[in-house]
Chain A
Amino acid sequence: MTIKRFDGRKLDEIRKMSAKVGVVPNADGSAMFSFGDTIAIAAVYGPKKMHPLHMQNPKKGTLRFTYNMLSFSVTDRIRPGPSRRGTEIGKISEWAIDPVLMIDKYPNNVVDVHVNILQANASTRCAGINAGALALAHAGITMKDMVSSVSIGKLDKDLVVDLSKKEEDFEEGEGATDIPMTFTNNGKLTHIQLDGNIKTEQLKEAVKLARKACKEVYEVQKKALKESIK
């Protein structure tokens, strides 16, 4: 028997996505990306000279990605300011985007990406990566490709696309497994994490499912960028 999702979605259905660029006028590039009730905004500042000087790399530029949740973005308030979780997510997002960025074009410089979660209902890191990549493209930072991110979940025995908070907390049967992944548009995996339990064969299926879903995400990103230059 296959599982029925709480919000009535099909197993491979992503929540309603929306994307927009240019949401922070001060920034060199900016974007908003949402999966249903999960909303991320991103701003890019740079390329600019790296300070402190000893961190400058004469061979290539540096990408710096920060991830932060607004205190009221979740039901139980989180203390404002940096957290261990946020620091780690910032780093994995950086690794997820770095492969498509032609950062060697900007020696001695740094490109800052700041992602903030305005409203959270799971998959915030995926929304953050999608917004961040969009903001970088909007800032005109040279990129070889786009990256798109989505989370695949396993609820009991079934694979579903784009977990919501309620699904993340699912406890029946084998419980919930959360597998956020990021793909470049030409199909390279740049980020994967996993929490839960899953067999190798099914994980392979999950990767395939993510690849397919990321294509949908990519279309939304592409549309947002095209709309900005109309």
Chain B
Amino acid sequence: MKTSKLTGDRIKEYLALGKRFDGRKLDEFREITIETGVSKNAEGSARVKMGKTEVIVGIKMNASTPYPDSPDKGNLMVTAELLPLSSSRFELGPPKIESIELARVLDRAIRESKFIELEKLCIKKGEKVWTVFIDIYSINADGNLLDAAGLGIVAALKNSKIPKYDKEKEEVLYGNWSDEKLPLKKEVPLSITIYKIGENLIIDPTQEEEDINDARVTIGSHKGVISSMQKGNSGELSEEEMYNILDMTEKVWKDLFSSMEKYLK
């Protein structure tokens, strides 16, 4: 069910006074919990709850041929499914723009930050490398799937072990894991999305708030170093607003990182 105009207008009235329906500040996240190892057959997995929003991210790996332009580097593939289970808005069928964009934006946040050390995932140059599959599933969609999934990816990757590999037969021994963890850089890329509603900038919208956003900007960064960005939706931003978005991101990043540090070790 789409948010009605009446509710939308009321949300805007509240925001103009610096208030939100659930009493949060404009730059405050809902309560976040992360649970790792939620699916045993995966190389790594995590469940993130952000208020009522819930996503599950799983990591699987297989050995495959490298791309010709990167013969000694592992591959990365991110997909997202917005399950009909998670909201009456999502329907079965081929992936639609929402899930494609979600996966691609987060793919870039991970890829461009070089968080996964893909150069260490080469088995035999030019012939076999590891492919890392990151699969995102929505379990309950109540706004800001982007940031919830972004956190889920990092937590699941941190939790991942490389499967055993038989070098002679050149095949993966699924269901058996080596002691080796997935090679990751220390610098954790966090994706943070700032939403513009009317004249206000907020983070972590509920579904109702997300429905009436004019524009959003997703920024993947680590300690002020930005490695990916995407503006979504058609609303325009003034130069001033763009600067505010960048400053807000840097502040929110610190808050989020310090509260999530225990999960992302």
Q: Are B42 and A26 in contact (CB under 8 A)?
A: no
Select which of B40, B62, B85 is within 8 A of A43 by beta carbon: B85
Q: Are B88 and A24 in contact (CB under 8 A)?
A: no
A161 interface residue per 8 A CB criterion: no
| Assembled-state Cα–Cα distance A80/B134 (Å) | 11
- Number of B residues contacting the other chain (C-beta, 8 Å)? 34
A26-78 CB contacts (< 8 Å) to partner B: 26-27, 30, 37, 39, 41-43, 45, 48, 66, 68, 70-77
Q: How many A-B residue pairs have CB under 8 A?
A: 92
Q: Are A80 and B92 in contact (CB under 8 A)?
A: no
| Assembled-state Cα–Cα distance A177/B52 (Å) | 42
Q: A66-B92, A70-B39, A120-B41 are in contact. Are A26 and B141 (CB under 8 A)?
A: yes
| Assembled-state Cα–Cα distance A24/B137 (Å) | 13
Find the A residue at minimum CB distance from B81. Answer: A80
The 8 A CB mask of B33-61 against A (1 = contact, 0 = none) is 00000111111010000001010101110
A182 interface residue per 8 A CB criterion: no
| Assembled-state Cα–Cα distance A106/B33 (Å) | 39
Select which of B38, B62, B92 is within 8 A of A77 by beta carbon: B62
The 8 A CB mask of A114-134 against B (1 = contact, 0 = none) is 111011110000000000000
Q: Are B140 and A26 in contact (CB under 8 A)?
A: yes
A112 interface residue per 8 A CB criterion: yes
| Assembled-state Cα–Cα distance A42/B83 (Å) | 11
Q: Are A26 and B135 in contact (CB under 8 A)?
A: no
Shortest Cβ gap from B221 to chain A (Å): 27
A173 interface residue per 8 A CB criterion: no
| Assembled-state Cα–Cα distance A24/B90 (Å) | 14
Shortest Cβ gap from B91 to chain A (Å): 10
Select which of B40, B84, B94, B135 is within 8 A of A119 by beta carbon: B40
Q: Are A71 and B83 in contact (CB under 8 A)?
A: no
Find the A residue at minimum CB distance from B95. Answer: A81
B133 interface residue per 8 A CB criterion: yes
B197 interface residue per 8 A CB criterion: no
Q: A77-B60, A80-B79 are in contact. Are A70 and B92 (CB under 8 A)?
A: no
A25 interface residue per 8 A CB criterion: yes
B209 interface residue per 8 A CB criterion: no
Tell which of A39, A43, A77 has the most Cβ of chain B within 10 Å. A77
Q: Are A75 and B174 in contact (CB under 8 A)?
A: yes
Q: Are A75 and B41 in contact (CB under 8 A)?
A: yes
B139 interface residue per 8 A CB criterion: yes
Q: Are B175 and A70 in contact (CB under 8 A)?
A: no
A140 interface residue per 8 A CB criterion: no
Q: A25-B140, A77-B62 are in contact. Are A114 and B41 (CB under 8 A)?
A: no
B87 interface residue per 8 A CB criterion: yes
Q: A37-B40, A72-B41 are in contact. Are A27 and B58 (CB under 8 A)?
A: no
B210 interface residue per 8 A CB criterion: no
| Assembled-state Cα–Cα distance A37/B56 (Å) | 17
Q: Are B52 and A116 in contact (CB under 8 A)?
A: no
Select which of A25, A42, A73, A80 is within 8 A of B41 by beta carbon: A73
A82 interface residue per 8 A CB criterion: yes
For B140, the chain A residues whose CB sits under 8 A away are 24-26
Q: Are B84 and A66 in contact (CB under 8 A)?
A: yes
Q: Are B52 and A25 in contact (CB under 8 A)?
A: yes
| Assembled-state Cα–Cα distance A158/B94 (Å) | 44
| Assembled-state Cα–Cα distance A43/B90 (Å) | 13
Interface residues in chain A, defined as those with a beta carbon under 8 Å from any beta carbon in chain B: 23-27, 30, 37, 39, 41-43, 45, 48, 66, 68, 70-77, 80-82, 112, 114-116, 118-121
17 residue pairs of the A-B complex, CB under 8 angstroms, read A24-B54, A24-B86, A39-B39, A43-B86, A45-B88, A71-B58, A71-B135, A72-B42, A72-B45, A72-B133, A72-B135, A73-B39, A75-B41, A81-B94, A114-B85, A116-B83, A118-B39
Given contacts A66-B84, A70-B39, A118-B38, 6 further A-B contacts (CB under 8 A): A25-B52, A37-B40, A66-B92, A76-B174, A80-B81, A114-B84
Interface residues in chain B, defined as those with a beta carbon under 8 Å from any beta carbon in chain A: 38-43, 45, 52, 54, 56, 58-60, 62, 79, 81, 83-88, 92, 94-95, 133, 135, 137, 139-142, 174-175
